[in-house]
Structure 1
Amino acid sequence: MRSLLVSFLALTVATPALAQTVPAISVDTLKTVTEVLSSDAFEGRAPTTAGEEKTIDYLIKRFSAAGLKPGNKGQWTQDVPMVELTAKNVTPFTATGGKAPVTFNYRTDMVVGTYRVVPQVSLKDSDLVFVGYGINAPEKGWNDYAGLDVKGKTVVILVNDPDWEVKEAGAAAGPFEGRAMTYYGRWTYKFEEAARQGAAGAIIVHDTAPAAYGWSVVQSSWTGPQYGLDEAGNHMDQSQVIGWIQLPKAKELFAAAGKDFDQLSAAAKQKGFRAVPLGLKLSGSFSNDIKRSTSKNVVAVLPGTQAPDEVVLYSAHWDHLGRCDAVDGDDICNGAADNATGTAGLVAMAEAFAKAGPARRSVAFVAVTAEESGLLGSRYYAENPVYPLGKTVGGVNMDVLNVLGATKDFEITGAGKSELEDMVKPLLAAQGRRVSPESAPQAGGYYRSDHFSFAKLGVPMLSAGSGEDLVNGGVLAGKAAAKDYNVKRYHGPKDEYDPNWNWDGALQDMTIYYQLGRQLADGTMWPNWYPTAEFKAIRDASRQETK
């Protein structure tokens, strides 16, 4: 095990830009901040709770002690207006009109909610329609809603996108990039498109393999308080009901309609698929407790010496699920790995930059709220930036650090998108590590964390970290550990701090993150997206506006 506090690593890395002496990343900070934030006293760090207040106070104290300045015009925080909806009195939803009624019990068979800020939600005899993957992609010549009017109806949707089972990834592997999930495969997109089509209800069929997580994750994430940004119009342009159903219940539903679920699912993978009315009607209701409040992003900055208006950005989400469905009597989803570790990484990175001294450009450290509720805090920052996005050079998002030990490889989430990847490769080579393909591209990781909020508005952000090839144990051990976490701890009460964690892999990755950020902060380069990336045009436009 490495020494906890070493003044400087004897590590100088030659890069095309400069030679860097890398300050030590404090393992003590990583351990302490993770342990504190994931303790029961913080109650799972749900936004707008007492756990948030403790979290914000603690982060401000740590950033201040590190020598950083308040980053939002003299303030440490940015207000994020939130509305909290908590479903109650949920009646079992029932589908009628088929061979036999199909009843969906709340939590065990189905979870339901709404984006609409209304006290009462009710569906009455809403026609059910199977719309395959629920995708409308004109550029691909694909429209699962073609010739269909779903106003007042409830659409049933498959998770992921049509070619998720293809072994290869990339544009040549299928219309939706093969095994790598596109944004069309994300549940957020499916609800957005259903609303654009006018659907009264939108229900996704949960299947563990294409979803990349089990039903317990859906259950813990979609019950209890649900958060949205408090915006004009109360989200009345959204569907009345959104939710998920278990796969066996979906098969029961289709059987009641005289349909074969597996057969229709296979048909939905083919271009030209047309939606299938099920001949059933869905009914159910629930009420909402509505609470308007303000959550907070924490913004700290190390001002630049020569170009302080140009900003390098590090981000991590501080929030987790708070109180959740109990496991073995424990109802606190502590979120130790996800994402107390990443937040600890943000603090440790701030300390390292401050110890090394100010850079040419400013470096901002933003701990965002409500990632678990749909990237809300980062979305709010990106749409209401403290530092103009056209002046934001790029940066790194940290979401779950490696606590399993050193690895021989490094995975770049959504590889093939930005020039930041070119900057990272020589840094990895200096560590004797290689870039590996994403181990689970079908999980759609690129669209599931806060870097996406910045990317879709043009800012190149690296989302990357240790691969599965552990120095001790190899790929088999790495895959086993990842599976164990996803099945037993992810988004559940068992994601708790472990004093026996091995932080060597986190240190490897944090060194890369530091070197990349320092190059950007001390240099004059403006990394862009590759010409094929969907975000390049908006980046070019935002840069042009600032020139």
Structure 2
Amino acid sequence: MRFALLALLGLAACNPQSSAPPPEVELPAIPMDTMKEATRVLSSDEFEGRAPGTPGEKKTLDYLVQQFQKAGLQPGNNGSWFQDVPLVAITAKNVSALTFTGGSQPISLNYGPEFVAGTYRVTPKIAVKDSDVVFVGYGINAPEKGWNDYAGVDVKGKTVVILINDPDWQTAEAKGEFNGRAMTYYGRWTYKYEEAARQGAAAAIIVHQTEPAAYGWNVVQSSWTGEQQVADAANGHADQSAAIGWIQLDKAKLLFASGGQDFDKLAAAAKTKGFKAVPIGSVKASLSFDNDIRKHASKNVIGILPGAKRPEEYVLYTAHWDHLGRCEKAPDGDDICNGAIDNATGTAALIALAQANKAAGAPDRSLVFIAVTAEESGLLGSKYYGDNPVFLHAKTVGGVNMDALNMTPPAKNVIVVGKGKSGLDAYLDRALAKQGRTAGMEPTPEKGFYYRSDHFMLAKHGVPMLYFDAGDDLIEGGKSAGKAAAMDYEKNRYHGPKDQYDPAWNWSGVEKDLQIYYAVGRMLAMSAEWPNWVDGDEFRGIRDKSREGAK
């Protein structure tokens, strides 16, 4: 192995867990006036939903720089507040119906209410014509599990129909081939399109089902229509499927029946290892649309509070500043997805926590505050940072990610997304103990939240990141009240025009959570330890390798 000597010298740094307990940190007063005002401003109609590459981005960037400066931060990227993130904005127009011919009856689906489609390809015209249709189950190719839904079938130039989530998502426990009800990355829609492209599919269509998808069709429609962002690429993503999208469940069943197949029987069969992909009779799919294409450089915003003793070691606070911009209209005509909860709150928290840390004085290590772009487009801003780090991953101790701070009243717990994965749990537990609270497991691991926010793109590079949500066991009302609040937000506001700032919000629960975010980051910045992923975790080997050459 290269750097063998350095690896031996760095064994302590690669220790699976911290050898010393987290340092003592007092819970500060959080500047809640700053938190409220920043959330209000960022989610106002003036910012038009903060879509990348729009006037709303310019206003967001100007505001964040102003507030970071006011909080006492310094520019974090070699004297600049910004890291350019090359993106391409693609807007589908003149979208045809999605038609299926050659079966027992012709089927024509309407764009929006019955199917949505787009493309990663940077090209002015997309056309899929008379493409054979194949059902590929969950669309998974996992050699390490001996699972391949594409085995024995050639889907080059064909349209594949795919189920969302993992084959064992209905398992009662988080155990099994694909972690049972705890979604793996194989269950995410992003993976399914990636694998379909690797297999040469012309089009990849996911069947929408609310429970395994974790959101209703309204979220799919609002998120997949209008301008979409993709990362810029030298090949214009020519290696990707021409069309990707979703189809309503009842329309998928109609499609299967037209091809002489029973959707429910095939969906059940797809849950078992050895499932073989099934052509949908002689059915052929056709779809076309034009694309408006606009290349632009969006921006991550980076501020730093330099450390007093070990400034070359870094602790991260991350949150995404973007949202959906203009979106599907609500019944009252409102077409601005303001993203107040998601994620004006997390972005505002960067400002408030920067103020609180500056007031406490410089910690031993440097604190870095990163507001990333294009999270709603597939974590593109954090992916770009992960691939092009301003601060080396080997020198980054870890961090916390803040995404959608829900306005629930104070809870007895917090919900940790990915609990038990790293030594950061000890830091969280120590902070929570000061409030008499506990860290709870995800009640809905099948929703795959671990793969749906920006911490994931840093974890992929080995950086331990902590991500937690507001607690679900409320002091008043318990778990039933917590569940009701979460369901209300998901059903009525998530990724829709009604995620708006409300002057009547109860901020007391958020204030307690912000103290925990502060404490975890501050402990990491005051410690000399290097928390790692636990033995056997998917990111452990990456971290060990990155730390081998660190001094």
TM-score bracket, shorter-length normalisation: over 0.9
Letter in 1 for 2:219: V
Could you tell me whether the CA contact under 8 Å between 1:402 and 1:503 is conserved in 2?
no
1:429: Cα distance to partner?
2.3
Q: Deviations over 1:183-207 (max 9, x none)?
A: 0000000000000111111000000
Give the distance between the partners of 2:173 and 2:399, measured in 1 at CA.
Answer: 29
Aligned position for 1:189 = 191
- 1:35 alignment counterpart: 40
2:274 to 272, 275, 282: 272
Select 2:426's aligned residue among 422, 425, 428: 422
**What are the within-5 Å matches in structure 2 for residues 355-366 of structure 1?**
355-366=359-370
In structure 1, the residue corresponding to 2:549 is in which secondary structure?
helix
Provide the rounded CA distance (Å) in 1 between the counterparts of 2:233 and 2:196. 20
CA-to-aligned-CA distance 1:497-532 (integer Å, 9 cap, x gap): 011111121122111111111111111111110111
Matches for 1:493-512 after TM superposition, within 5 Å? 493-512=497-516
Equivalence map 1:96-107=2 (5 Å): 96-107=101-112
The 5 A counterparts of 1:509-520 are 509-520=513-524
| 1:248 matched to 2:253 | no
Aligned to 1:456: 460
For residue 338 of structure 1, report the CA deviation from its aligned partner. 0.3
Q: TM-score, normalised by structure 1?
A: 0.96
Alignment RMSD, CA only? 1.0
The Cα of 1:475 is off from its aligned counterpart by 1.0
Q: In the alignment, which residue of structure 2 is the partner of 1:65?
A: 70
* Contact preservation (8 Å) 2:408, 2:470: no
Paired AA for residue 146 in structure 1:
A
SS in 2 for 1:22: coil
Instruction: Give the CA deviation at 1:16.
Output: 3.5
> What are the within-5 Å matches in structure 2 for residues 163-178 of structure 1?
163-169=168-174, 173-178=175-180
Contact 1:300–1:365, Cα closer than 8 Å, also in 2:
yes
Contact kept, 8 Å, 2:22 with 2:430, in 1: the verdict is no
Query: 1:325 — aligned with what?
Result: 328
How big is the shift at 1:433?
1.2
2:7 equivalent in structure 1: none
- What do the CA deviations read for 1:465-488 (whole angstroms, capped 9, x no partner)? 322111122111111111111011
CA distance in 1, matches of 2:25, 2:490: 36
The reply on whether 1:75 has 2:80 as its aligned counterpart is yes
TM-superposed CA distance for 1:426, in Å, is 2.5
Aligned length: 530
Tell me, in whole angstroms, the C-alpha distance in 1 between the residues paired with 2:424 and 2:489.
Answer: 29
- Displacement of 1:168 after TM fit? 1.1
Cα distance per residue 1:232-285 (max 9 Å; x no partner)? 110111000100000010011011111110111000011111100012100110
Indicate conservation of the 8 Å contact 1:470/1:477, yes or no.
yes
SS in 2 for 1:377: helix
Which residue of structure 2 lines up, in the alignment, with residue 121 of structure 1?
126
State the secondary structure of the residue aligned to 2:356: helix
Letter in 2 for 1:364: V
Given candidates 309, 313, 316, the residue that maps to 1:306 is: 309
Matching residue's letter, 1:114: T
d(CA) in 2 for partners of 1:196, 1:467: 40
- The answer as to 2:52 corresponding to 1:47 is yes
Which whole-Å CA distance do the structure 2 matches of 1:237 and 1:312 have between them?
Answer: 36
C-alpha distance in 1 between matches for 2:158 and 2:542:
35
Look up the match of 1:229: 231
What is the rounded CA distance, in whole Å, between the counterparts of 1:435 and 1:70 in structure 2? 34
Distance 1:543 1:511 in 2: 30
Deviation string for 1:308-332 (max 9, x for gaps)?
A: 1110000000000000010021000
**Which residue is equivalent to 1:472?**
476
**1:23 touches 1:355 (CA, 8 Å); kept in 2?**
no
1:392 and 2:396 equivalent?
yes
Given the alignment, which residue of 376, 381, 384 partners 2:380? 376
Q: What is the letter of the counterpart of residue 184 of structure 1?
A: Y
SS in 1 for 2:265: helix
Cα distance in 1 between the residues matched to 2:216 and 2:27: 40
The whole-number CA distance in structure 2 between the counterparts of 1:284 and 1:464 is 41
1:19 pairs with 2:24: yes
Deviates more, 1:209-218 or 1:495-504: 495-504
* CA distance in structure 2 between the partners assigned to 1:441 and 1:537 by the alignment: 24
One of 282, 285, 290 as aligned partner of 1:287: 290
Give the counterpart letter for 1:430 in structure 2: K
Task: Tell me how far apart the structure 2 counterparts of residues 94 and 226 of structure 1 sit (CA, whole Å).
Answer: 23
Secondary structure at the aligned position of 1:347 is classed as: helix
Q: What is the distance in 1 between the residues matched to 2:526 and 2:414? A: 24
Partners of 1:56 and 1:284 in 2: CA distance: 38
State the Cα deviation string for residues 326-350 of structure 1 (Å, max 9, x = none). 0021000000000001111111111
Distance in 1 separating the partners of 2:141 and 2:256: 23
* TM-score, reference length from structure 2: 0.95
**Structure 2 counterpart SS, 1:283:** strand
Tell me how far 1:423 sits from its aligned partner: 2.0
Cross-structure match for 2:160:
155
Residue 115 of structure 1 aligns to a residue whose secondary structure is coil
Residue 88 in 1 paired to residue 90 in 2? Answer: no
Q: Among residues 237, 240, 255, which one is paired with 1:238 in the alignment?
A: 240
CA contact (8 A) 2:131 2:159 kept: yes
* CA distance in 1 between partners of 2:536 and 2:420 (Å): 9
Q: Is the 8 A contact 2:169 2:180 kept in 1?
A: yes
Distance in 1, matches of 2:516 and 2:242, equals 45
Q: Secondary structure at the match of 1:326?
A: coil
Distance 2:431 2:358 in 1: 21
Q: Secondary structure at the match of 2:41?
A: helix
Q: Tell me which amino acid in the other structure corresponds to 1:55.
A: T
Matched, 1:484 2:480: no
CA distance in structure 1 between the partners assigned to 2:24 and 2:441 by the alignment = 28
Which runs of no fewer than 5 residues in structure 1 stay unpaired? 1-14
Instruction: Give the distance between the partners of 2:72 and 2:433, measured in 1 at CA.
Output: 32
Equivalent-residue separation in structure 1 for 2:417 and 2:27 (angstroms): 24
The amino acid that maps onto 2:212 is P
Deviation at 1:435, TM superposition (A): 2.1
Deviation at 1:18, TM superposition (A): 2.9
2:547 alignment partner AA: R
Tell me which amino acid in the other structure corresponds to 2:377.
S
* Whole-Å separation in 2 of the counterparts to 1:114 and 1:545: 40
Which residue of the partner structure matches residue 16 of structure 2?
A: none
CA contact (8 A) 2:81 2:302 kept: yes
Q: Which has the higher contact order (CA 8 A, sep 6+)?
A: 2
Structure 2 residue runs of 5 or longer lacking an equivalent are: 1-19
Identity %: 63
- Give, in whole Å, the separation in 2 of the partners of 1:424 and 1:18: 12
CA distance in 1, matches of 2:396, 2:104: 59
The residue number in structure 2 matching 1:4 is none
- 2:319 is paired with a residue whose SS is strand
Partner SS state of residue 111, structure 1: strand
Q: Deviations over 1:441-466 (max 9, x none)?
A: 11100000000000011100001132
